[in-house]
Amino acid sequence: MFFQALLLFLLEQLLSAASSSEIAHGLTAAFSSACMSLATSLKLPNVIVNFAHFVPAGTVLQFQQDENLVTCNRPNQTIASDICRVAMYVSTSSRSGITLEAWLPSTWTGRFLSTGNGGQSGCIQYEDLGYTSSLGFAAVVSRLQTGVTVGKALTQIFYKRAHTKSYYLGCSTGSRQGLESAQVFPETFDGILAGAPAIDRNRLVAWNGHFFGIIGTANLSDFISAALWNTIHIEVLRQCDGLDGVVDGIIEDPSLCNPRPEALLCKPRNSINCLTPNQAQIVRNVFSDYIAEDRSLIFPRLQPGAELTSVSDQFSGMPSKYIGDWFKYVVFNIKDATYSIALNPANVESFKGNLSAFRAHGGKALIYHGQQDSTVTSPNTARYYDHVSRTMDLDSSSLDDFFRYFRIGGMSHCSGGPGAWRIGQTALGALGGEGGAGSNVLAALVEWVEKGVAPETVRGVGFVNGTVALGVDFVREHCRYPLRNVCVDPKRYKHPKSWKCV
Ligand SMILES: *[C@@H]1O[C@H](CO)[C@@H](O)[C@H](O)[C@H]1NC(C)=O
Ligand SMILES: *[C@@H]1O[C@H](CO)[C@@H](O)[C@H](O)[C@H]1NC(C)=O
Ligand SMILES: *[C@@H]1O[C@H](CO)[C@@H](O)[C@H](O)[C@H]1NC(C)=O
Ligand SMILES: *[C@@H]1O[C@H](CO)[C@@H](O)[C@H](O)[C@H]1NC(C)=O
Ligand SMILES: [Ca+2]
């Protein structure tokens, strides 16, 4: 409305002499001055505006240490479309507060979106603000409900009308934050895009920690070297790659894969690149569920196929970096795991199975998880899906009305891997149209929320040797759980039509 009125005003001012470039220039100037005026005019409770800048498309923002923690390791961000960048501090008590950024695009679709962050960083994922604002979302980064409330209010003030629909996008911890919102603040979002959710967090961190006890330190005689893990990976593929109908380096459904490490046992005439009996047991333990003293499940096993990306972390001979500050200075054992699960500080587990209120609000959740993820093992997401199904007493066809889970074969943690992992999920997964129509999972979520057209599959793009720089290799459609992907025409396995969800 505001810009239409302004356009008429400009037309009058410029009379018939106005050229379209002058009008465009006038609109940009108006957008820019409306943006900058926020610095002094924005009045929201507990909010201080640090700055409000107009940033034209093509700018490379350079981040200073004072506006971006050094640990975040984000030196710059290229801006794809004109935005109003607003940086705020929101105090949540006399001693605490959050930093918040909103990136408001000049070509707004009317949609609001919040993103989260990965790991335990608390960093602003500028690339996701850039990605979603370039798609026309008024985007904020906020891990807390407070931030979303401020972001929505700011959006309304700036554009002079309320948003139409509200979305969330995040992966890993960002995904946990999104699902936590569906569980605890069910009316906040109409659509949630959640990848590789780091849910049941106490158990997840304990699971990351338990590998050190299995693997041991690097000076042990049975320590498995990186080279030997490579051999193990090749053997896992030899045993399981073909289960989906084609040998292509991808295990579409690792839940069907139960590798026998004994196939690699050293023989009298072959004592290199093979496993001692102890090492074979270590490999078995790595691919086994993590079980408590009372025999109950702590966390599902590492899915076979993901072992190579564990080598630099869980299999390194040092405690996993994902234990971080959570179990700092703790010699980790099963009792610590059981204790932390019972403690569940700040309800960080985010594993509530009752999403009734989210469903009643009309919310839709689209979950995806790479099937080659060594950071958050993917069977945990099937476990959550089943938990929601049981808690709400809904079979898959009813649950899928508002909650769908897609398994992305050959995708690592949130991005990367040999599979067709680029699905438009985040800035890392942003597509350049390679996959054709229907290959952006965020657009699919919007269709579902706004037109009621639910995605049957998620279409992704894979790269030559899993390397983006080598170019696009194939397109594949990923099935929604509990269906799995099977190749029905192995000679043409790179063609999406050669696959079927069964
Ligand atoms: C942005 O940061 C990357 C990574 O440090 C660097 O390689 C690149 O040259 C930077 N680009 C600009 C324009 O500053
Ligand atoms: C093996 O390495 C660990 C940790 O690096 C060290 O504490 C231990 O003393 C070493 N053991 C031997 C036998 O060298
Ligand atoms: C789920 O939550 C709703 C309220 O949102 C409540 O009415 C219902 O009883 C709960 N169901 C279960 C199984 O706990
Ligand atoms: C891809 O990997 C294979 C096997 O390692 C290798 O032979 C091939 O040259 C690689 N292709 C490219 C384009 O690098
Ligand atoms: Ca395969």
| Structure confidence by residue, pLDDT tens digits, 313-363 | 999 999 888 776 666 555 567 887 888 888 887 777 889 999 999 999 999
- Considering only CA atoms, which of 500, 492, 415 is closest in space to residue 461? 415
Distance 76 CA to ligand 1 centre (A): 6
Query: Where is average pLDDT lowest: 27-31, 181-185, 430-434, 459-463?
Result: 430-434
Q: Cβ-count burial of 23 within 10 angstroms (0-12 exposed, 13-18 middle, 19+ buried)?
A: middle
Measured from the alpha carbon of residue 240, the closest ligand is 5
Q: Where do the structural domains in the chain lie, given as residue ranges?
A: 202-343
**Exposure on the CB side of residue 378, measured as CA atoms within 13 A:** 30
Distance 75 CA to ligand 1 centre (A): 7
How far is residue 36 from each of residues 45, 86, 155, 397, measured CA to CA in Å?
Answer: 19, 9, 14, 49
Pairing of strands 166-171, 112-115: parallel
- From 76, 78, 127, the mutation candidate for ligand 1 (largest count of ligand atoms within 8 A of CB) is 76
In sequence order, what are the residues at sequence separation of 6 or more whose Cβ sits closer than 8 angstroms to the Cβ of residue 322?
119, 205, 208, 313, 375
Query: Where is average pLDDT lowest: 65-69, 249-253, 263-267, 460-464?
Result: 65-69
Choose between 350 and 408: higher pLDDT: 408
Mean pLDDT within 366-379 = 98
Using CA positions, which residue lies closest to atom 12 of ligand 3?
A: 354
Q: Are 313 and 320 in contact (CB under 8 A)?
A: yes
Strand segments (E) across 284-430: 290-291, 297-299, 364-370, 403-408
pLDDT of residue 433: 65
Q: Are 376 and 157 in contact (CB under 8 A)?
A: no
Q: Are 197 and 332 in contact (CB under 8 A)?
A: no
- From 352, 356, 359, the mutation candidate for ligand 3 (largest count of ligand atoms within 8 A of CB) is 356
pLDDT of residue 218 exceeding 70, the answer is yes
Pairing of strands 112-115, 138-141: parallel
Distance 370 CA to ligand 5 centre (A): 14
- Considering only CA atoms, which of 179, 204, 215 is closest in space to residue 298? 204
- pTM recorded for the entire structure: 0.92
Using CA positions, which residue lies closest to atom 5 of ligand 2?
A: 217
Residues noted as catalytic:
172, 373, 413
Distance 353 CA to ligand 3 centre (A): 10
Residue 470 Cβ inside 6 Å of ligand 4? The answer reads yes
Q: Are 413 and 196 in contact (CB under 8 A)?
A: yes
**227 SS3 class:** helix
